[in-house]
Chains A and B, each alone.
Chain A
Amino acid sequence: MPDRKAVLARAAELRAHFEGAGALAVEPPILQPAETLLDLYGEDIRARAYVTSDAMRGEQMLRPDFTVPVVQMHMMQGAEPARYTYAGTVFRRQEHDAERANEYVQVGYEVFDRDDPAGADAEVFARISEAVAGLSLRAATGDIGILMAAVRGLSTTEARKAALMRHIWRPRRFRALLDRFARRLPEPAGRVALLEAADPFAEAGTLIGKRSRAEIEARIEALRADAAAAPIAEHQLAALETLLSVRETAPYALQHLRDIAVDLPDLTPALDRLTARLEAMDARGVDVQRLDFEASYGRTSMEYYDGFVFGFYAEARPGLPPIASGGRYDALTRRLGRGAEIPAVGGVLRPGLMLELEGTA
């Protein structure tokens, strides 16, 4: 394990480098109100973040990352466009793997910019990439926005699309929903009986609790409407499945995705954004011809990303978490912005892992 002083010194260097590139250094507090994080991530965050409390402020969390507090700070007072950098410790509760660090230093670079999203994506990627140059890392990239566009473009009901969008970051659940909406699975046993019953409430007994009879009736109506709706067409499902399996160097991936867009025409704007991003990356000296692109990348661990996503991995050390990672999180600014929103993209580095790889620890 690298010595903490060395890690902090490297973190300070990296932050100074980002300041030199025009970013404003910020110092968000370590304790964050738990409510905001719970609303964003749901109960699962409790398995990943340390929770503490006091009688005055209620539940607080030791920051699991910087993105949320930086977005909140920007939405309160930031001028536009803005670039921020920070360096500090984040805390991650570990329940399943004692080998993983429960606190470590992160250095980040975040860009809030309305005018040129492709340029901002390329800028963040290039800055992070420069910082890890020399460590012979493999870069993985993806784009959650393409999958979202594919879902929006399905010829099916809005309710089904909303259900799929809600579970885009839970691949197994997403798969199960797709199978259901395509009628590849039989309906649950009681479902048919419920929808055919003259009085669905005949055996219900006393209703207790906050969920009202009207809400139950509304759900039954929704189930009836879903039962009456046509299954998602096979050619669209096949296109979506092909899309999820795309994993090639960026130019081939783009070509492949353009072919898929024949069956899912709503993909085109998202693919135009990918094209523009690759051009902007190329202009910044990134070797896009050899850059890996994976359409499913970032679906499991990066819940707030909704566009470009990337990570840098030490191939020789497959057990290590990504040395750097990042992505676009426009929707997060919308949810934290109380009516306001701004396109945003950022990335973080782990100086401790960088030192470990350099063997200077």
Chain B
Amino acid sequence: MSLKLGVPSKGRLMDKTFDWFDKRGIRLSRSGSDREYAGVVEGIDDVSLVLLSAGEIPRELAAGRIHLGVTGTDLVQEKLPLWEQQVKEIAALGFGHADLILAVPRAWVDVETLDDLDAVAAAFRAHHGHRLRIATKYHRLVRDFLRAGGVADYMLVDSQGATEGTVKNTTAEAVADITSTGETLRANHLKLLGDGVILHSQATLWRSRIAVFSDTERAALERMLQRLAAIP
């Protein structure tokens, strides 16, 4: 069997990943029609390409169904408990930069830090009869972050998209989301808390610690690592 490399199946993340490997003499491409998620690998032996949604790559790495995979730090840390035991970082790819941040309405002039947010959450609950709602899809990361920060009296509400709009729509009081620029926040009348960066994320190449490597696959991994080491 060949070494299985999982790569996001569409969009800029796929294109940039292809470019990154191309610079290192490994040509990845999609085979056949655009709808077919099969891939071709040229320039290195015994490596096969598996095209997957970026969100599924952490799970596939943890299950050992792929040996290597490209996906964001955010997705690995959100989806894999004890992630350090399941995957090892091989290389940060230098694109797909995004921060998971906590933001509140810009008009909350009294809120700069997590301490302020906690005090406001207590008053908000007393006043409105429900906990202060934070919209996010990164439940685990946000909960761990707020626990470490000593914030109480909040609740997480699930938001799988258009998260920045939830405050205006009064389905949440604050948001925790990935932002690559501050513009989306400003456009939605939100601001980042001073100590509200939960995680810096970028596209990263991971090796599964779970996957079993045959001799052929191990040899292919060694070739791959040498190739990557040649061009940092």
Residues of A within 8 A of B (CB): 38, 42-44, 46-47, 95-96, 98, 163, 166-167, 170, 172-173, 176, 180, 188-191, 194, 200-201, 203-211, 213, 215-216, 218-220, 223
Chain-A contact segment, one of B7-15, B50-58, B61-69, B109-117? B109-117
When each residue 95-137 of chain B gets 1 if its CB lies under 8 Å from chain A and 0 otherwise, what string results?
A: 0000000000111111011011011101110011001000000
**Residue contacts A-B, CB under 8 angstroms, 19 given:** A43-B154, A46-B139, A47-B140, A166-B152, A170-B150, A180-B115, A188-B112, A203-B109, A204-B106, A207-B189, A208-B188, A209-B168, A209-B170, A209-B173, A211-B173, A215-B127, A219-B119, A220-B109, A223-B110
Q: B168, A46: Cβ atoms under 8 Å?
A: no
CA of A216 to CA of B123, assembled, Å: 10
Name the distance in Å between B193's Cβ and chain A's nearest Cβ. Answer: 11
CA of A191 to CA of B109, assembled, Å: 10
Q: A219, B150: Cβ atoms under 8 Å?
A: no
Name the distance in Å between A31's Cβ and chain B's nearest Cβ. Answer: 20
CA of A176 to CA of B148, assembled, Å: 13
Please give the number of chain B residues whose Cβ is less than 8 angstroms from any Cβ of chain A in the complex. 41
CA of A220 to CA of B110, assembled, Å: 6
Name the distance in Å between A232's Cβ and chain B's nearest Cβ. Answer: 17
Q: B167, A209: Cβ atoms under 8 Å?
A: yes
Q: A173, B107: Cβ atoms under 8 Å?
A: no
Interface presence of B147 (CB below 8 A) = yes
CA of A209 to CA of B169, assembled, Å: 7
Residues of B within 8 A of A (CB): 81-82, 105-110, 112-113, 115-116, 118-120, 122-124, 127-128, 131, 139-140, 143-144, 146-147, 150, 152-156, 167-168, 170, 172-173, 188-189, 194
Closest to B118 in A: A173
Q: B108, A188: Cβ atoms under 8 Å?
A: no
Given contacts A209-B167, A210-B173, A215-B124, A43 and B110 within 8 Å (CB-CB):
no
Q: B146, A205: Cβ atoms under 8 Å?
A: no
Q: B120, A219: Cβ atoms under 8 Å?
A: yes
Most B-side CB within 10 Å, residue of A180, A209, A210, A215: A209
| Residues of chain A lying within 8 A (CB to CB) of residue B143 | 43-44, 46-47
Q: B173, A200: Cβ atoms under 8 Å?
A: no
